[in-house]
Structure 1
Amino acid sequence: MHTRELFLFLFCMLLSLGFINAQAQIQFLTKRCLGGNYTANSAYESNLKTILSFLYSNSTHENGFYNATAGQDPDKVNGLILCRGDVTAQECQSCIINKIGQEIMTLCPNKKEAIIWVDDCMLRYSNRSIFSTLEIQPTAALVSVANSSYPDGRSQKVKELLDSLANQAAFHSSTAMFATGVIQSTYTVGGIIGFEKIYGLVQCTPDISQNDCHRCLTAAVSHLFDCCKVKLGARVLQPSCSIRHEDHMFYASKASAPSPSTLVSPPFTPLTNTTNTEGKGRNSTGVIIAIVISTVIGAIILSILYFFCLRSRKPKEHIDIVDVEKINNVESLQVNFSAIKAATNNFSNDNKLGQGGFGDVYKGRLLDGREVAVKRLSRNSGQGEVEFKNEVLLVAKLQHRNLVRLLGFCCEGQEKLLIYEFVQNASLDHFIFDPIKRVQLDWERRYKIIGGIARGLLYLHEDSRLKIIHRDLKASNILLDEDMNPKIADFGMARLFVVDQTHACTSRIVGTYGYMAPEYIKHGHFSVKSDVFSFGVILIEIVSGERNNSFHQSEPYEDLLSYAWRNWNEGTAMELVDPTLREGCSRQDVMRCIHIALLCVQENEADRPTMASIVLMLNSNSVTLAIPSSPAFFLNSRRMGSEVPSGENDSRATESTASANEMSLSQFDPR
């Protein structure tokens, strides 16, 4: 190995093992430019300059937080600043004036709303009210370049740390909604056991309530675990709060929060400071050199061991099936075929409830009197033994009021059957798409159904012991009980993720066109955001009473998503609403649901909210929603709405989709 190659190899290994943190000394600036435009030399610009002057001069305010208002509507400007809780008043003022102030007018030129984040502070202004209001959008995430060598164990510790700090910041009045702490983690690399500390910081703007602070931090943690769990360091920035974790101490020791049982309050270790005097630099030189030499030697040894460990390890083939032996865990649910045959009157057509992509569903009555729904897989269905066992294993472990409950299964010879609780009112599509039955679903019931579906998905994605991607969420897979409570069904295509996994890829594209996310159809990539896309489609269908896979306007030709977007963009979103709802619905709730749906169906999966954020948006009108861009469209798709064969590859799926419609946001004003 040449000297240059050896150096690059050792540098990369040091980076991957955390001995070098490439982001630690890098200053960052992140911005979000929002809202409409103001005219140069206008009253709004004059008020903006006034408010910025107020903020600069008051940046030494207590707790590093200050807000102010200048002017009158419609040219009123609201502004606020927030400095990190561990910086001094002088450092806060320097951050606001030197890092943001000198460039503020050029960062978001002529924009009526902007948020600027830098290392130690945030500045925000808007033409709307932003004080004492919980806002989690827009969200920005920054990560270190290095990945953890043991992501499973580290991610659990990171979550433990951040959850604890969130409670401290929100509910301990002495913290001023700011908390820091450290937790110790054990790991093994190349057979060597090591220990490291993970440092964390959370902060809310102190003008929001304690509960809103906790909601904001919880949403930020959820976003972090969607985007960057494998990283050695990451931060999530939201208008009302921020979180950060690193493998090194990045805050001042005075900010350490009261330590819970899982935390260790970190001792303050002075770092090299460019403002030190020459004498101080000489006194610490020997210590620094000793630390650097010992660290490098240790890193080189670990790097060599790690390198040979990787070379000797055989690559592990990814197996896209469920471990067959795990089926034994649910043997107690196994039912004899003869019992099911008797319960369904030998699968009589009179007992047939419907037909799905993988077989028929029958109503039955067990010997103990319970009514059940029996899913009988067809012998030539795409769902074979793998999908069948997948559904048994997944659903048997799930317990939530908005998920259909598995009561038993049968696997004898060629017969594969699943026994579910019987849900009286069939599926959602039997109501919202029926011109007569849809009248039974007033807005109050539809809103209740929307909330139930969201809570069921949140349970699958985050709250259950397993992390599950449904992959075939659609109106026909939402069942309604006697009280019209929704229950998510049909987990034959679902995928189980490990604790810290965020994405997966497959060449077997399965699902229903019209509900499938574009990244899944085109490339086989799926994640929790794939389900979020499907939820957005269902949400638009519930509001409109129209099927996405069969709706179109002849002039111009539009599918349901493009129709919804055009009306929203033109300020005529109520045209989308089911005519049976327009008289008795809450216009505010309907508009909010359309807004949320458009955020869910964004082309870029990173722009879609998580289910945790969606549940929060549905339950709190104080949460300000981000401005959506044009969604992913499926125009002119001849096969839209058809089931995708389980063996179909993604190239066939891609051929049936049209390119996304590019639309400008320059005139967008949903308010």
Structure 2
Amino acid sequence: MNFLSKNWMIPIWILSSLIVVLEPTEAIRTYPPLSSIADPVLPTEKKPPFSRIPTDNEAHSPGVSEIKVVHHEDLNTTILIALIIASTLLAAILLFLFCFWIFKQKNTEPLNINKPPKGQDSSKGLSLGPILDKFTPTRITTGRKGSATVIDYEWLISATNDFHEDHIVRVDSSGHIYKARFNDHFVAAVKRLHGRGPDTQRGFENAVDWLGKLKHQNIINLLGYCIHDENRFLVYEMMHQGSLESQLHGPSHGSALTWHRRMKVALDIARGLEYLHERCNPPVIHRDLKSSNILLDSNFNAKISDFGLATTEFHVKNKVKLSGASGYVAPEYLSDGKLTDKSDVYAFGVILLELLIGKRPVEKMSPSLFQSIVTWAVPQLTDRSKLPNIVDPVIRDTMDLKHLYQVAAVAVLCVQPEPSYRPLITDVLHSFIPLVPVELGGSLRA
């Protein structure tokens, strides 16, 4: 409204100027008595050559009053026309500014979506879709910009062959992920969430809310969602290489992840976190960053997924419930419930250790003994003579040792027990760009 209030000064100044210029003098504004125009002198009459006392019939002023009246009427007409023009111009300018303000308000409104009402079957329609061209219009419900598409439940049944086990591509702690073929040219991933309690409902609503607003190349793209009875479904873009966890700790044991691909994955995660921490207002804390929530597309581009626990620094001021995967939770959050963006940086450091060493965050040493990768690795990461020996055998001796030392140093900083000693994710991001080849999105040249 500051813009609008400033622009009102222009038409008001113009109107004031017109009124001042066109305002009649006191002499002209003085109306003559009616009797003074009762007997005007005709133009053909001649004045006497000498002065004389006027008679009663000639007592009234002969032509001067007439001239004044005609001039006064012309001036009134001019003022009236000027006022009409100025008022019309003022109204037009105000109408234009009002319309412009409404337009700006609509286009600068922060993205937000209406969370699906609890217990409502969203297959009957709720809100909108950012990729309507990917779905048949009769099977979705459209709505406001920034939300996700509501997808018909029967369509999910058809695309997954009634959620047949042959369509399961992976299983994680929060649900089963199915490959869904909607037509011959479009395939997506459907996540069927585990559980039906309030925690599942809140996580589902949170994921739909955040992923409907967050748009970045390293954040998973939520295509739609569905609520059917007590079941909750999230539909994502298909990530053909699965999760980072399955690549590192699955049957292939990271064989498809070369050194440069691992650095590319780390760079992608850092870019996604930098978007959440530095470019979102208010900053977003993922709160559940782990290798199973890092998904890889067919070209091994990494994207952060699963925003069921995401929150903002504003909400962190209140007490937040302790949650997160074992091995990734920052010490201060675990002990005191203190949650900041540096908690995500700690989790990033743990993922970086996985990429370097190839071990899980928590290794089971015996039925009752578990070992943290941070506790085991950090002392050796700072010893250059030992570091090459603990690197994942799949990538051992395939990298420049200077680059290895640099990555190890970043990992050690990220997992520091004291949050203030950890770097900002922006600094981490800039440290990885020179380690990734140009063709993979970095600045390293052969």
- Is 1:420 matched with 2:420? no
Residues 573-630 of structure 1: CA distance to partner in whole angstroms, max 9, x if unpaired?
2222112212211211121111111111111111111111111222358xxxxxxxxx
C-alpha contact (below 8 Å) 1:390/1:492 kept by paired residues: yes
The equivalent residue for 1:162 is: none
In our comparison, the structure showing a higher alpha carbon Rg is 2
The equivalent residue for 2:224 is: 408
Amino acid at match of 2:297: D
Q: Of 168, 182, 202, which aligns to 1:352?
A: 168
Three-state SS of the structure 1 residue aligned to 2:362 is coil
- Is 1:549 matched with 2:362? yes
Q: Of 361, 370, 374, which aligns to 2:177?
A: 361
Residues 339-371 of structure 1: CA distance to partner in whole angstroms, max 9, x if unpaired?
111111111100012222222111101247311
- Cα offset for 1:487? 1.1
The equivalent residue for 2:325 is: 512
Give the Cα separation in 2 of the matches to 1:347 and 1:495.
31
Amino acid at match of 1:442: T
Identity rate, percent: 33
The equivalent residue for 2:381 is: 568
The equivalent residue for 1:580 is: 394
The equivalent residue for 1:468 is: 284
Q: Of 135, 154, 157, which aligns to 1:341?
A: 157
After superposition, where does 1:36-435 map in structure 2 within 5 Å?
324=115, 328=127, 329=144, 333-367=149-183, 369-380=185-196, 383-434=199-250
Amino acid at match of 1:590: L
- Cα offset for 1:324? 4.0
Residues 475-509 of structure 1: CA distance to partner in whole angstroms, max 9, x if unpaired?
111111111111111111111345xx8x5453521
Cα 1:546–1:435 change in 2 (3 A) is farther
Give the Cα separation in 2 of the matches to 1:485 and 1:523.
35
Cα 1:434–1:338 change in 2 (3 A) is closer
| TM, length-normalised to structure 1 | 0.41
The equivalent residue for 2:428 is: 614
C-alpha contact (below 8 Å) 2:225/2:233 kept by paired residues: yes
The equivalent residue for 2:419 is: 605
| TM, length-normalised to structure 2 | 0.61
- Cα offset for 1:325? 7.5
Residues 30-50 of structure 1: CA distance to partner in whole angstroms, max 9, x if unpaired?
xxxxxxxxxxxxxxxxxxxxx
The equivalent residue for 2:340 is: 527
C-alpha contact (below 8 Å) 2:248/2:358 kept by paired residues: yes
Give the Cα separation in 2 of the matches to 1:413 and 1:395.
22
Three-state SS of the structure 2 residue aligned to 1:511 is coil
Amino acid at match of 2:215: Q
Give the Cα separation in 2 of the matches to 1:386 and 1:434.
30
C-alpha contact (below 8 Å) 1:452/1:486 kept by paired residues: yes
Three-state SS of the structure 2 residue aligned to 1:449 is helix
C-alpha contact (below 8 Å) 1:567/1:575 kept by paired residues: no
Structure 1 unaligned regions, length at least 5? 1-321, 622-671
Three-state SS of the structure 1 residue aligned to 2:254 is helix
Cα 1:488–1:396 change in 2 (3 A) is same
Give the Cα separation in 2 of the matches to 1:540 and 1:522.
22
C-alpha contact (below 8 Å) 2:362/2:370 kept by paired residues: no
Cα 1:482–1:325 change in 2 (3 A) is closer
Residues 497-553 of structure 1: CA distance to partner in whole angstroms, max 9, x if unpaired?
45xx8x545352121110011111122221111110000000001000111211659
Cα 1:553–1:537 change in 2 (3 A) is farther
Amino acid at match of 1:359: G
Give the Cα separation in 2 of the matches to 1:570 and 1:557.
24
| Bigger helix share | 2
Three-state SS of the structure 2 residue aligned to 1:402 is coil
The equivalent residue for 2:75 is: none
